[in-house]
Structure 1
């Protein structure tokens, strides 16, 4: 049996992952799950809950907790990365400071997403280097840390065996299967784009007559449900003929979203309350099932996506198809080969290889190209620092895109995040 390590194991997400293993929704052969986190209180609470979930389900794996990354990662076959540098306090900042310039406040895209990338990339790279020292060159890093595309590219650029993962695709796959009344395993997605900038171009369903694209049927018969799910007007969704990720609303309805954000509570406040409630439940020794409140935390189907990917990377079986964040190569010819894209890929013990993609129409390729350029500049700012690099990345982002806003937001971003940016404190 293999050892699975979760860095950021004190996260309230972790019982979701462990529940997927405990209840048999994964064929991962795990003998030990090690939770690594610097927060000893959260680690003890979450770890105890995870141990109860496994024991109640009769699963033989044992939970171990540690604050030592070296101890936790030694001998691990796969290491899951689920960090939030700065916690919900930093997230609150990411979701609010861009609003002063009339720009979307969001923790994974726009100015807020850049702030998160600047805080996160150096920390993740340091962790990855230390993991490789104790786990060896063969260990896989499965990155669930946002912004997934930028963080995964940073890991790959340093030569780590890394694959990025998001739950958007698996969530839509589950929704499509429900609406079509078919088994989830019969549904494949023609998913294209970047992390949090993606579209479903086809919903391929295997049946008695072979594989057919059921997306037109979904749009015709279930359009209102899909439009509500992704936050898009129904007439426009049907004209598009695709299902965009719900993150596209930040681009397609920018001003509308900003108006709403100025009157709503930041998501960080809501999540903070949910986390406090979850931690109380996790501390209750009578809780032996995943709490229903965990669904309010976000990250639906995270456990299924993560454990299935780990199985494909470490199980030694035939290649499986997963939607992951991976090097572009020649898949999307309008992007650089070293860009990281989010597409279906064949995954086995040797890694993830993107499947061939149909030509991407200009309505999509233009936005994908612009955000890819931003991500390249964002990574340079995260690695090398500098206020002007931050401003350049913001200027390139389509949710900012004006030099006055880019300069103002860059100064505020650096001021707010200086405790996490060594170069900003010099």
Structure 2
């Protein structure tokens, strides 16, 4: 079975390949094609994968290409993890937003809108090519902003595109761990949009264990979200928010922390990964060991400004291992082998959340089988979440409209309507500054 990885020169590709190496089941992936626009990055990542495969019998065969059509032909699964504009683009997204006094983050607020505006046209082109060259393929989208990009691609691929994210998985794992439950046997009642969701219950054997956590301040404060948000706030909500909601609930503190940081996250990763790719190009260096060192530093510094502003301390060791590659592998297994699995995914809403229309992509538990991902029935959104989810979904729709029409006025509207952008004049400034910084936004007129 052929898996094509778009963004195949990306830093996290070895996580996906490592998961594939551990899969020995029938119908597993036997061929991996890496596609990227940067041949140098492809060579570096190919070296890492070759070292990973050493001593592994029947390891999936890896090839690399810069030809997108060649990469897509014959694919059973397409894993999309592209970054339009690279990490320099992310650094610019953050810089422009922070200079305007609003949040600079790659998926949330102004930075997420800018990233979406330049990513959606590329993602739509990919979706059209998949529909033409590999109509039976399933697309697994990890490209950020994941919910927005998945919705853009779904307009051309329907339910054959499914978005994934490791944030809900990590959150559910942490809650189960602190409650002494096995995450593999716990049902996580999670609902919302990508990077904008809440755990409302964690059921083990049909019993909801979340009230026990919320009722014990010491237990609640013993894991990352408890320290990040504060136990009083979590008990007021009656739910555990995705870590990205810290940008909403503590916006002023986060913006201040980001403005005071020596470098933005994007600039840090840009410089860090530049060092890795340069090191991995040296034939005398173990590319795998260089990658391992870089990944450990990357994970340890994740959301460091948020944790510092909240006094949350360092990340726990168990949370440094990632997880999206496990979601991707579980999703592929369930579809390819018709092995039923329940996963939290980004899919079209249908009738799951009544406040949103059927085509709106939401992030909810889904039953996955050979027919794809089917969202499970869910209780209505909590009252405190409804307005925020609807507002952000409306912003996503404005981004899609601007990307389709090329309307600068609609792009301004997208920024102005976001809850974390507090002025129409700031929205106009952001569009001007982003258009100047990103040639990929030249289509906005």
TM-score by length of 1: 0.92
How far residue 301 of structure 1 moved from its aligned partner, in angstroms, is 0.8
Q: Which of 414, 423, 426 is matched with 2:435 structurally?
A: 414
Q: How does 1:24-35 map to 2 (within 5 A)?
A: 24=23, 29-35=28-34
CA distance in 2, matches of 1:80, 1:228: 29
Match of residue 378 from structure 1: 399
Deviations, residues 107-165 of structure 1 (Å, cap 9, x unaligned): 11211111101110111111222233222x21011000001111111111123420011
Gaps of 5+ in 1: none
Matched, 1:237 2:234: yes
Q: Could you tell me which residue of structure 1 aligns to residue 295 of structure 2?
A: 294
Contact 2:118/2:440 (<8 A) preserved = yes
1:305 aligned onto 2:317 = no
1:191 is aligned to 190
**CA distance, structure 2, for counterparts of residue 378 and residue 270 of structure 1:** 27
How far is the alpha carbon of 1:27 from its aligned partner?
7.5
The answer as to whether partners of 1:26 and 1:308 remain within 8 angstroms in 2 is no
Task: Check conservation: 2:127, 2:157, Cα contact below 8 A.
Answer: no
Determine the structure 2 residue equivalent to 1:140: 138
| Separation of aligned partners in 2, 1:174 and 1:4 | 27
Does the aligned pair in 1 maintain the 2:152–2:400 contact within 8 Å? yes
Q: Which of 256, 268, 271 does residue 270 from structure 1 map onto? A: 268
What is the CA–CA distance in structure 1 between the aligned matches of 2:277 and 2:330, rounded to whole Å? 26
Q: CA deviation at 1:415?
A: 2.1
Matched, 1:95 2:100: no
Tell me the distance in 2 between the aligned counterparts of 1:368 and 1:115.
19
Q: Which residue of the partner structure matches residue 423 of structure 1? A: 443
Shift of 1:35: 0.6
Aligned to 2:209: 214
For residue 40 of structure 1, what is the aligned residue in structure 2? Answer: 39
Q: 2: CA distance between counterparts of 1:362 and 1:294?
A: 39
Q: CA RMSD in A?
A: 2.1
In structure 2, the CA distance between the partners of 1:287 and 1:96, relative to structure 1 (3 Å rule), is closer
Range that drifts further, 32-41 or 93-102 = 93-102
Select which of 236, 244, 249 maps to 1:247: 244
Deviates more, 1:23-32 or 1:299-308: 23-32
SS of corresponding position for 1:159? helix
Q: CA deviation at 1:312?
A: 1.7
Which of 314, 317, 326 is matched with 2:336 structurally?
314
Q: Structure 1, residues 178-216: CA drift from partner, whole Å, max 9, x if none?
A: 3234433112210100001011111122xxxx3222222
- Contact kept, 8 Å, 1:148 with 1:195, in 2: the verdict is yes
Shift of 1:280: 5.4
1:274–1:296 CA contact under 8 A, matched in 2: no
Is 2:280–2:286's contact at 8 Å kept on the other side of the alignment? no
1:212–1:273 Cα change, 3 Å? farther
Question: Normalising by structure 2, what TM-score?
Answer: 0.88
Q: 1:214 to 1:295 in 2, by over 3 A?
A: farther
Could you say if the C-alpha distance between residues 110 and 413 of structure 1 is closer, same or farther in structure 2, counting changes exceeding 3 Å?
same
